[in-house]
Amino acid sequence: MSYHYVGSELELFATAINWKSYLASVLDPFVTGRVLDVGAGIGTNLAYMCNPRVVEWTSLEPDPELARQIGAAEPRRRLLTPCRVVTGTIGDLDPALCFDTILYLDVLEHIADDRAELARARDHLAPGGRLVVVAPAHPFLFSGFDAAIGHYRRYDDVSLRALSPEGCRLDAFLLLDCAGFFASLANRLILRKVLPSPRQIAVWDRSLVPASRRLDPLTGYKFGKTALAVWRAAA
Output the CA torsion sign for 174, 183, 186, 111: negative
User: Residue 4: inside a domain, yes or no?
Assistant: no
Chain-centroid distance, C-alpha 45: 8
The pLDDT confidence band at residue 55, using thresholds 50, 70 and 90, is: very high
User: Residue 2: inside a domain, yes or no?
Assistant: no
User: Residue 154: inside a domain, yes or no?
Assistant: yes
Categorise residue 221: left if φ over 0, alpha if ψ from -120 to 50, beta otherwise: left
Instruction: Please give the pLDDT value at position 86.
Output: 96
User: Does the pLDDT at position 117 exceed 70?
Assistant: yes
Instruction: Please give the pLDDT value at position 4.
Output: 67
What is the rounded distance in angstroms from the CA atom of residue 105 to the CA atom of residue 86? 17
Instruction: Please give the pLDDT value at position 2.
Output: 59
The pLDDT confidence band at residue 189, using thresholds 50, 70 and 90, is: low
Query: Helix, strand, coil shares of the chain as percentages rounded to 5?
Result: 45, 25, 30
Q: Choose between 1 and 85: higher pLDDT.
A: 85
User: Residue 169: inside a domain, yes or no?
Assistant: yes
User: Residue 5: inside a domain, yes or no?
Assistant: no
Domain span including residue 111: 10-233
User: Does the pLDDT at position 118 exceed 90?
Assistant: yes
What is the rounded distance in angstroms from the CA atom of residue 123 to the CA atom of residue 120? 5
User: Residue 1: inside a domain, yes or no?
Assistant: no
The pLDDT confidence band at residue 61, using thresholds 50, 70 and 90, is: very high
* Number of domains into which the chain is organized: 1
Instruction: Please give the pLDDT value at position 228.
Output: 98
The pLDDT confidence band at residue 77, using thresholds 50, 70 and 90, is: low
Categorise residue 39: left if φ over 0, alpha if ψ from -120 to 50, beta otherwise: left
What predicted TM-score, i.e. pTM, was given to this entire model?
A: 0.93
CATH number, position 207: 3.40.50.150
User: Residue 3: inside a domain, yes or no?
Assistant: no
Question: Using one digit for the tens of pLDDT, what is the confidence trace for 132-162?
Answer: 999 999 999 998 888 888 899 999 999 999 9
The pLDDT confidence band at residue 75, using thresholds 50, 70 and 90, is: low
Supply the Cα-derived Rg of the chain in whole angstroms. Answer: 17
Direct distance between the N- and C-terminal alpha carbons of the chain, in angstroms, rounded to an integer: 37
What is the rounded distance in angstroms from the CA atom of residue 115 to the CA atom of residue 82? 30
